[in-house]
Amino acid sequence: MSKIRAAILGASGYTGADLVRLALTHPEIEITALAAGSKAGQSMAAIWPHFTPYALPPLTAAEAVDFAAVDVVFGCLPHAASARLLGTINEATIIDLSADFRLRDAATYAEWYGGEHPAPHLLESAVYGLTEFARSELPGAQLIACPGCYPTAVLLALTPLLESGLIGAERITINALSGVSGSGRGLKEANLFAEVAEAVHPYGLGHHRHMPEIEQQLALAAGAPVTISFTPHLVPINRGELVTCIVELAEGQTHLSLRAALADRYAHEPFVHLLPEGQAPATRMVRGSNHAVVNAFADRIPGRAIVAAAIDNLVKGSSGQAIQNMNVALGLPETMGLEAAPLFP
C-alpha cells in the first residue's frame, strides 16, 4: 500500500512544526505539501533550522496546495482563516487543529471568537477529536476538530468522573499552567524571553477562549449545563501544560473513588496514565510525548477533591493528538508514530 499523503497547513507555527516532527517518523505518512502563506517559497530548513537534516517539500501558499493529491490535511491555521479554507476542501480527510470546529454552536463561536463562523454548515458533522472519547466516531470521519490544549488536559481529568456521577457539575474550579509555545510564534512583546523568563502570571482571567469549549464537553459528560471557573497562568517553559481541578464530590465519595474510576477508565489506554496514590502529575513526565498523566487527591475542604493532569501542550494537546486521530480515523494502529518516550531531562 502506498503511504498516506499529508498536507500540513500553517507549517511555520510551533504546532505545524511539531506535526512535521511527528510525521517524519510516522511509518505511514508521507508529507507531500507544506503551506505557510507568509513564508511561501522558502524551505522548511530556512525557517526551522532543526529540520536541516530532513528532505521536506518547500513551503507554498495554502491555496496552492493540490488537495486532490493528498489524503489528509492537517490544518494549523489561525481560527476563521482555518474554517474559510478547510470549508472548501472535499477530497481529503481534514484534521483541524484550530478552534473553528470545536464548538458545536455557531452563536457561541461568534461570541467568543469575534465574528460569524465561516462554515457553520460543517459544525454538525465535525467530530470532536479527544481521541480516547471519540473512537467510535473517528473512523471514516471527514472533518475532525482537535481539542484545544487546555481542554485536552481538563477533559482527560474530569470526563470519566462526570460521566460516572462521582463529582458534581457545579463549581468546577480549574487552575492551569501553560508553557509559552501555547501562544505561538507571533511577535508579541509578552512572549519575549526577557518578559517571560524568571516570571509567572495569570492571564485571560474570566474570559479565556478555552472556557466555552471545556464547558461544552463537560456538559456532555455530565448531562447538564456546566459553568466553570478557569484560571490559566503563563509559566517560563517551552512545552507543558498542567491543570489542577477542584471538584465537588458526590455524596459518599472520596478522592479514592475518583482514583478507582480513573484507574478503571484508563487501564488500557496507551497514552493516559493514572499515577500512584499521592504522586503529583508533572509536565516533565510527558515532555515531548503524547502521554498524559492524571491523579486525584483529597482536598482539605471536606467534600471536595483535586484532580490533576499534565500533558505536553504541543503533542497530546495538539499535534500528537492530531496524528492519534488520523490513525484511528484511517484504521491504523492508534499509537503508530507516537511511541517516543518523554524527553527528560
In the region spanning residues 59 to 118, those forming contacts with a second copy, defined by CB under 8 A, are none
295, 263 contact by CB (below 8 A): no
Choice from 81, 171, 219, 263 touching a second copy (CB under 8 A): 171
Output the smallest distance, CB 295 to a second copy, in A. Answer: 9
| Least spacing, CB of residue 65 vs a second copy, in Å | 22
Catalytic residue flag (residue 149): yes
Among 40, 58, 120, 297, binds a second copy (CB under 8 A): 297
Please tell me whether residue 207 binds a second copy under the rule CB under 8 A.
Answer: yes
Footprint on residues 15-54 left by a second copy (CB under 8 A): 17, 20-21, 24-25, 48-54
Q: Which of residues 239-278 bind a second copy (CB under 8 A)?
A: 239-240, 242, 244, 246, 270-271, 273, 275
How many angstroms separate the CA atoms of 54 and 221, rounded?
43
CB 310, CB 256: distance < 8 Å: no
On whether the CB atoms of residues 215 and 227 are closer than 8 A, the answer is yes
Grid cell 511511541 — which residue?
339
Report DSSP state, residue 249.
Answer: B
CB of 13 to a second copy, least distance (A): 11
Cell numbers representing residue 80 in the block: 476563521
Min dist CB 34 to a second copy, Å, is 14
Applying CB under 8 A, which part among 94-102, 103-111, 149-157, 195-203 lies near a second copy? Answer: 195-203
Contacts 24+ apart (CB under 8 A), 188-197: 190/234, 196/234, 196/236, 197/236
291, 318, 319, 320: which one binds a second copy (CB under 8 A): 291
Cβ pair 12, 187 in contact under 8 A: no
CA angle 28-131-69, nearest 5°? 35
Q: Which residues are catalytic?
A: 149
